[in-house]
Structure 1
Amino acid sequence: MNTSNQDRRVQFVLDAFDTLFNRRDYAAAERLWSPRYIQHSAHIAPGRDGLFDLVKGLPATLRYENHVGAARGDFVILHGRFSGHGLPAAWVVADIVRMEGDVLAEHWDVIQDEATREQSRSGLPMFGDRFPG
């Protein structure tokens, strides 16, 4: 896969995440997630409905920000932050998505509470170049 195809895949997944998590446009999101969507996350009920129902149950303050993304073949990995979900710490997440044509078909994630400056043994932030405010 050439770089421009990889970049397009990353941008497609970023746009899909923005559509669902930030804009909460469920009608548009249905066109971006496969009806046969496979969910591997231990935190989300099965299928596209499980994901959409989770988002619908979260506060309107939920936001997704991306730091980096990469693609290889049908797979896209995003390193991002979910904040405003009602818990004390934002989540820093590695999301891995398998694409099938022009829809998100399968998902895995690794989720970690974001560390403050005081909690960071490395002295470096987990997301971007700043610690959470």
Structure 2
Amino acid sequence: MSTPDTATDTATENTALVTEFYTRAFNEGEPEAAARVALGDTYIQHNPGAPDGAEAFIGYVHHMRGRFPELQLQVKRTVASGDLVVTHSRFHLTPGDRGLAAADIWRVRDGRIVEHWDVIQEVPEQAANSNTMF
């Protein structure tokens, strides 16, 4: 009889939590519900343009969806290790745009997201190579 791999189970649960949180907030426009289910009492933000806390995250999503009501997020891949989940995503602000490539790092503690870092860049019209960003 094999023993369950607790680290794998935790990574899978953390990945599901982050992915559901991220897509529910942005794609479904439900940041309050997403935050209520997923964010910890403390939410530390490392993006220098965003304040800490759940209310700031909720406000940011509403601001972005107000400017870009058809905004869509596609999580292309995830990597999880320990208490960290990394998402590699594509944001489309408007239908048909080239979009933005985002790498987000999320720290999960006790089943709640407590910390976030991100790196975002525009998908260029032309690239110096034939590889895609996704």
State the TM-score, normalized to the length of structure 1: 0.83
Higher-Rg member (1/2): 2
Measure the CA separation in 2 of the matches of 1:27 and 1:45: 16
- Percent of matched pairs sharing the same residue: 28
Q: Which residue of 2 aligns with 1:41?
A: 47
Cα root mean square deviation, aligned: 1.9
1:106 to 103, 107, 115: 115
Measure the CA separation in 2 of the matches of 1:35 and 1:64: 25
Shift of the alpha carbon at 1:85? 5.9
State the TM-score, normalized to the length of structure 2: 0.82
Shift of the alpha carbon at 1:89? 4.7
Measure the CA separation in 1 of the matches of 2:129 and 2:49: 28
Measure the CA separation in 2 of the matches of 1:5 and 1:27: 25
Q: Which residue of 2 aligns with 1:50?
A: 56
Measure the CA separation in 2 of the matches of 1:25 and 1:12: 15
Judge conservation of contact 2:21–2:35 (CA < 8 Å) in 1: no
Shift of the alpha carbon at 1:126? 0.5
Letter of the 2:86 counterpart:
I
1:13 to 15, 18, 35: 18
Gaps of at least 5 residues in structure 2 are 1-5
